[in-house]
Chains A and B, each alone.
Chain A
């Protein structure tokens, strides 16, 4: 199993090394992932409902959907 992973790793590493553009493009990809996940996701894009259970999320979104709803003319009859 380990040999397969080693072969795959070598395939990628040799491939990247053998192309002049390989290392700079790989650097760009890592730089982008770092900016996206380590900076943007961590500091700027925390999910608005992080830490809530599914029930709490349903409750919150239900309240938000109904929050702006203000109907003075309609009275729902359920009896």
Chain B
């Protein structure tokens, strides 16, 4: 395998590892903050002990997961140096805000939350618990602003002198932070985190019920976790709908790949699994209109007219414009010192074609097609698992509310098995988002083969296996500590 594959594998592994910890942090924070709110309102010691137990599991996850995202930044600088420089101006602000917020909010309020039980007032402690979760959520927003920009690079202009995408004004910054792709991605990712936290709480509680332990603790934890999870599920569906609309608008190839749609059209069907289709459903999902046109892979290659009447050029045409942009960039760089007038003409040609600059690096139109099979099945895993989990959360919450859950062994086992499933669902979502946008690191501007550093594949391979060993070791440690703590239980003597 070559350097690009190894670098991509390494980045994917690190990001996937990071995403094991983040959703549980986001979700568990909501669950335990709700529980602590119940404690402050009801003044019931039961909720205090319950909150403290889930907080302990939150702390373990937080400690093992801390700073795993920084490794991604190492990889940017070493493996993806062209990309790193290209986006440096644009990523600087969001990532700096994220770093400062993550550090100050999480370090401060996490400490008050975890260590301050008898040192600050109940209300201040409760505020700190909420702010820990809110801090992590805001922090996620800035990361997703950066990611959203890579999917839909708005608000920036390419500067041929610095060879960077730059934000020229405060207005540009606003365009970047309010990028619709970033906003829908934020809600989708964060609320899927709520589902993860909820499934964890419900699954662990079901294990206690299977063991005949901590019955009241488990039942009430399922109700709180289940309600958070159901709110999360509804929000995931709504934000997923927005994501579908945005994919159709900004990344139609990703949508076509996720559907395995070779030839599109109006009243396009949605494929549940190969062979089973719902007529017109894809048009509704992608455009909110039964007669909406959804382009397939071949249409995108050949060029098409979108629902607003815009003529979208063929990939061949985009490649031509991309090559024009690259030629203009080369000419501009060559002449900017010696012949400013000609350089200005080259600059104007570059500006005219720059949105397709990345296409100039492609060898053939088919290079814009991502791995269809992987994206297609990841999309189905994500949706299928999400729907199963919403159903399990609904049933467990309802039956716990009615105090009839303890004898439903099949449901308790299903809820327990939903813990690994929710992670598979979340990771599948990222596969759709990231594999689905191949070959681009930045949509239309920079393909992966140009974003990469000049390294040897052997060097990246070495660090890949090094990471694999380190990540596996830390994950085993976390799971062991988590399981030990769960086994000990909250020790609430209410049964």
Please list the residues of chain A having a beta carbon within 8 angstroms of any beta carbon in chain B: 11-12, 14-16, 18-19, 21, 24-26, 28-29, 32-33, 35-36, 40-41, 44-49, 54, 57-58, 60-62, 64-66, 68-69, 71, 74-76, 78-79
Contact = CB atoms under 8 A, between A and B. Distances in A.
Given A18-B115, A48-B453, A58-B162, A65 B329 contact: yes
Contacts of A26: 63
| Secondary structure type dominating chain B contacts | helix
B349 A76 contact: yes
Contacts, number: 137
B74 A40 contact: yes
Contact of A68 (B114, B115, B361): B361
A14 to B, nearest CB: 7
A58 to B, nearest CB: 5
Contacts of A14: 115
Given A62-B333, A74-B324, A21 B82 contact: no
B172 to A, nearest CB: 20
Candidate in A33, A49, A54, A76 with the most chain B CB atoms within 10 angstroms:
A76
A62 B81 CA distance: 12
A78 B345 contact: yes
Interface in B329-360: 329-331, 333, 335, 339, 342-343, 345-346, 349, 360
Given A24-B481, A65-B450, A74-B320, 17 more contacts: A11-B111, A19-B59, A32-B64, A41-B74, A45-B78, A48-B78, A60-B85, A62-B163, A66-B329, A69-B330, A74-B324, A76-B330, A76-B349, A78-B331, A78-B339, A78-B342, A79-B342
Contacts of B115: 11-12, 14-16, 18-19
B42 interface: no
Contact of B64 (A28, A48, A60, A76): A28
Contact of A62 (B329, B331, B361, B455): B329
Contact of A44 (B329, B449, B463, B481): B463
A11 B119 CA distance: 9
Contacts of A79: 342, 345
Interface in B315-330: 320, 323-324, 326-330
A28 B116 CA distance: 22
Contacts of B477: 28
Nearest to B350: A76
B66 A32 contact: yes
| Secondary structure type dominating chain A contacts | helix
Nearest to B342: A78
B456 interface: no
- The 6 A-B pairs with the shortest beta carbon distances in the complex, nearest first, are A15-B115, A48-B81, A78-B342, A47-B77, A45-B74, A25-B63
Contacts of A12: 111, 115
Nearest to B107: A12
